[in-house]
């Protein structure tokens, strides 16, 4: 933790900042531009200034999303300090890891709660696939890092909220177009309408990509809409809907020998059995929000949502058809009052989610579905959670106390439809109580120290509960041996917004430095037998690390960002059985590093904003990353090597009262480095490696008509 204070003291000593009194800050327009008054809703589930809360919060602003290739969440989250992102074959199955949570998933995001406009995109069991978010239509992204299990289910790593750009200043219709190598084409339109009582946003795009690896082509249609109506001065109703129709082939993971000889080949098994997915899903949500009593004293929000998902998936050895029906509800109440002459904010609520539907499995015969059903069942999951948070100002404008807690009850069941003496219907019930306490001390109005301690539980997802032939009772439909992961979480940090308004040199420095220590019991880790992934519990894990993010304005029209993450994640105790093609081997992994976690991550960004005329402006951006080597299995027997890559982008925008045009060109991985973009952890046959994106050119042209 000494490193945190040392770096912060150095920042303050290096730059002669004039710290403005609070009254003068309000007169400075540029301080608002830099987010001094920025608020978070995700971090506390009610409006709070980021500088006032004891959590590490990072916001991706709308202006940062204007240019650049928008294919996956990696396009918009790659520069968030503390995040480690891995993409399978470039664009699908993004793995988002925060402080090690999320590393275990091969088919979606785990351990990190994902929201879209405040509505859970994560399924009731905690797993998330980011195929229903239009990354070309975002007004911002809010990332809260660290344990938020006291406010959200299955959120030991944090929460990410993708926000649709619904608060546009003018009515408009626009065309969005992106083109690039490897058959990349993404075309669509957006429409925005508004008056004093209503606001409506609609977007659609079609994306096609041949893929830079063999057997990795994909396409997707995505339709999204948001309607917001204002009922008087303090109430509103919001209706959100989306529909996805997508297809992608899966090239699979490679052995080290295959990766080194031809990194863009597909796995022979993936080609022989034509691994692929066809997804169709839609969701509708309705949110009602109102306020009553004195201004900002009471707020009530009620949300209901439902969805249908159809999935056709070919892998080995199964060909699976499934339909999943989901329902959910959110209720939140917030009260702001004065207790003992001090401000107090109390928030409480309930979350409910349910999912059910038939799953039918057939034998995959050379990529085709066999006629005979080999398995048919209904996998159900329900989760209900109750939470509260109290924020009390102990010392006015100085010291704030946060106490929150949540109780969750999750029920999983798997009922076989085909009578069989081989399997027995089974269910599992998990419940957890997750308290958390935090303190935030403002050294000045622009710099704050913060710390928190809390508990977290991470329930296994349905796919992680699938039983394996080597469990204590392989006849059960759900694995009887797997338990939730539990952790004790501590963090200490310092953050600030410093301004030197009297100078053009180092006009601003925005920083957030966090040290954390997690002690985890029964961590859920993957292992693979015959191309099929199963999960088990490790014994004890210790995680410690530092996240550092600094954004500066060294000179007029320039911006520099430096992010650094250090991790030291080790198994404290881990005795297990390792399954290999030659048989079962008893292993002791105690003292080993967790796989798929680099020790060092460095991200550097340099932006040059320029203005040609009053109507034409532009951006030149250099973005580069260094990722240290990482282990690919619990045994630490093999590694994915470290790598460095850089991206460059040039964009220009033309804006008048009636017309807006954005044009950009870019080159990703400009030095054409070969690197492992995704690690398939603990593979049975040593197929750990999936190749990252090679040098790739792209361009975009967006035309916006205002009326």
| 136 φ/ψ angles, rounded to the nearest 5 degrees | -85, -5
pLDDT in tens, 385-444: 999 999 999 999 899 999 999 999 999 998 888 766 567 878 899 999 999 999 999 999
Contact 112, 99 (CB under 8 A): no
Q: Give the pLDDT confidence score for residue 421 in this predicted structure.
A: 54
Residue numbers in the chain where pLDDT is lower than 50: 1-37, 90
| CA distance linking residue 606 with residue 623, whole number of Å | 7
Distance (Å) of CA 500 to CA 6, 379, 508, 651: 21, 58, 6, 29
Give Cβ neighbours of residue 240 (< 8 Å, ≥ 6 apart): 116, 117, 119, 164, 225, 226, 227, 283, 284, 285, 286, 287, 305
Q: Report the relative pairing of strands 112-116 and 158-164 from DSSP bridges.
A: parallel
Q: Is the peptide bond before 317 cis (omega within 30 degrees of 0)?
A: yes
Q: What is the DSSP letter of 593?
A: B
Q: Is 532 exposed, middle or buried (0-12, 13-18, 19+ CB in 10 A)?
A: middle
- Could you tell me the residue range of the domain that residue 327 belongs to? 2-706
Q: Give the pLDDT confidence score for residue 36 in this predicted structure.
A: 37
Adjacency order of strands within the sheet including 158-164? 56-61, 138-145, 158-164, 112-116, 119-120
Q: Give the pLDDT confidence score for residue 582 in this predicted structure.
A: 67
| 269 φ/ψ angles, rounded to the nearest 5 degrees | -65, -40
| CA distance linking residue 185 with residue 575, whole number of Å | 49
Q: Give the pLDDT confidence score for residue 383 in this predicted structure.
A: 95
Q: Report the relative pairing of strands 185-194 and 172-180 from DSSP bridges.
A: antiparallel
Count of CA atoms in the C-beta half-sphere (13 A) of 53: 28
| 545 φ/ψ angles, rounded to the nearest 5 degrees | -175, 175
- Classify 417 as helix, strand or coil: coil
Residue 469's CB is within 10 A of a number of other CB atoms, namely 10
Q: Give the pLDDT confidence score for residue 501 in this predicted structure.
A: 75
Give how far the C-alpha of residue 86 lies from the chain's centroid of Cα atoms, to the nearest Å: 11
Give Cβ neighbours of residue 23 (< 8 Å, ≥ 6 apart): none
| CA distance linking residue 540 with residue 651, whole number of Å | 49
Q: Report the relative pairing of strands 485-499 and 436-442 from DSSP bridges.
A: unpaired
Contact 460, 76 (CB under 8 A): no
- Classify 529 as helix, strand or coil: strand
Looking at the 3D structure of the chain, how many domains does it have?
1
- Indicate which CATH number applies to the domain containing 430: 2.40.170.20
| CA distance linking residue 474 with residue 309, whole number of Å | 29
pLDDT in tens, 440-466: 999 999 999 999 999 999 888 888 888
Question: Beta-strand (E) ranges in 293-424?
Answer: 298-314, 318-339, 342-356, 358-365, 368-395, 399-416
Q: Give the pLDDT confidence score for residue 91 in this predicted structure.
A: 52
Residue 260's CB is within 10 A of a number of other CB atoms, namely 11
If we measure between CA atoms, which residue out of 94, 83, 151 comes closest to residue 118? Answer: 151
Torsion angle of the four alpha carbons 12, 15, 21, 24, in this order, in degrees rounded to the nearest 10: -150
For residue 245 the two structure tokens come to 């129709």
Contact 400, 393 (CB under 8 A): yes
State which H helix or E strand residue 30 sits in: helix 29-33
Q: Give the pLDDT confidence score for residue 5 in this predicted structure.
A: 38
Q: Give the pLDDT confidence score for residue 414 in this predicted structure.
A: 87
Can you give the pTM of this predicted structure? 0.91
């Amino acid at each position: 933790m000494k490193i945190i204070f040392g770096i912060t003291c150095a920042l303050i000593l290096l730059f002669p900042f004039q710290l403005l009194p609070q009254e003068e800050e309000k007169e400075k327009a540029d301080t608002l531009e830099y987010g001094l008054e920025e608020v978070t809703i995700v971090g506390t589930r009610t409006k709070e200034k980021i500088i006032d809360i004891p959590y590490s919060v990072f916001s991706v602003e709308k202006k940062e999303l204007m240019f650049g290739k928008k294919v996956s969440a990696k396009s918009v989250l790659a520069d968030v300090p503390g995040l480690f992102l891995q993409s399978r074959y470039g664009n699908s199955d993004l793995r988002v890891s925060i402080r090690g949570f999320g590393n275990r998933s091969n088919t979606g995001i785990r351990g990190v709660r994902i929201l879209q406009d405040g509505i859970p995109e994560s399924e009731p069991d905690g797993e998330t696939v980011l195929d229903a978010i239009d990354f070309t239509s975002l007004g911002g992204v809010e990332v809260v890092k660290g344990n938020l299990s006291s406010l959200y289910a299955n959120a030991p790593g944090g929460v990410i909220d993708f926000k649709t750009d619904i608060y546009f200043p003018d009515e408009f219709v626009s065309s969005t177009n992106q083109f690039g190598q490897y058959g990349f084409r993404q075309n669509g339109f957006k429409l925005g309408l508004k008056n004093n009582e209503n606001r409506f946003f609609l977007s659609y795009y079609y994306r096609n990509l041949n893929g830079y690896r063999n057997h990795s082509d994909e396409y997707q249609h995505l339709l999204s809409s948001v309607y917001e109506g204002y009922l008087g001065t303090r109430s509103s109703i919001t209706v959100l809907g989306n529909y996805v129709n997508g297809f992608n082939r899966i090239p699979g993971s490679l052995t080290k020998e295959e990766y080194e000889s031809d990194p863009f080949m597909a796995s022979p098994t993936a080609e022989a059995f034509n691994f692929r997915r066809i997804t169709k899903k839609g969701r509708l949500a309705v949110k009602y929000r109102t306020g009553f009593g004195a201004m900002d004293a009471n707020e009530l929000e009620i949300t209901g949502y439902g969805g249908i998902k159809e999935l056709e998936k070919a892998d080995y050895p199964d060909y699976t058809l499934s339909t999943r029906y989901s329902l959910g509800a959110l209720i939140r109440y917030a009260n702001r009052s004065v207790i003992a002459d001090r401000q107090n904010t109390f928030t409480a609520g309930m979350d409910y989610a349910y999912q059910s539907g038939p799953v039918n499995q057939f034998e995959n015969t050379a990529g085709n579905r066999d006629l005979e059903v080999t398995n048919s069942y209904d996998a159900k999951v329900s989760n209900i959670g109750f939470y509260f948070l109290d924020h009390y100002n102990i010392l006015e404008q100085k010291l704030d106390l946060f106490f929150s807690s949540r109780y969750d009850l999750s029920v999983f069941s798997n009922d076989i439809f085909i009578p069989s003496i081989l399997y027995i219907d089974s269910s599992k019930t998990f419940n957890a109580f997750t308290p958390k306490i935090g303190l935030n001390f403002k050294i000045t109005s622009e710099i704050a120290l913060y710390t928190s301690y809390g508990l977290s539980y991470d329930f296994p997802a349905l796919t992680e509960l699938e039983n394996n032939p080597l469990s204590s009772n392989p006849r059960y439909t759900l694995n009887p041996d797997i338990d939730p992961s539990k952790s004790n979480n501590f963090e200490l940090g310092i953050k600030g917004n410093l301004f030197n308004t009297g100078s053009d040199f180092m006009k601003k420095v925005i920083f957030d430095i966090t040290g954390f220590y997690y002690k985890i019991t029964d961590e859920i880790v993957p292992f693979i037998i015959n191309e099929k992934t199963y999960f088990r519990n490790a014994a004890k894990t210790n995680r410690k690390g530092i996240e550092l993010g600094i954004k500066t304005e060294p000179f007029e029209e320039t911006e520099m960002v430096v992010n650094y993450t250090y991790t030291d994640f080790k198994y404290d105790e881990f005795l297990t059985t390792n399954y290999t093609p030659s048989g079962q081997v008893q292993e002791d992994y105690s003292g080993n590093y967790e796989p798929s976690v680099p020790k060092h991550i460095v991200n550097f960004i340099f932006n040059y904003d320029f203005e040609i005329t009053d109507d034409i402006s532009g951006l030149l951006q250099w973005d580069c990353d260094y990722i240290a080597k990482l282990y690919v299995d619990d045994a630490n027997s093999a590694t994915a090597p470290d790598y460095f890559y850089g991206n460059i982008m040039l964009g220009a925008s033309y804006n008048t009262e009636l017309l807006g045009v954005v044009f950009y060109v870019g080159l990703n991985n400009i030095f054409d480095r070969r690197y492992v973009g995704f690690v398939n952890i603990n593979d049975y046959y040593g197929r750990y490696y999936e190749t990252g994106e090679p040098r790739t050119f792209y361009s975009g042209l967006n035309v916006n008509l205002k009326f």
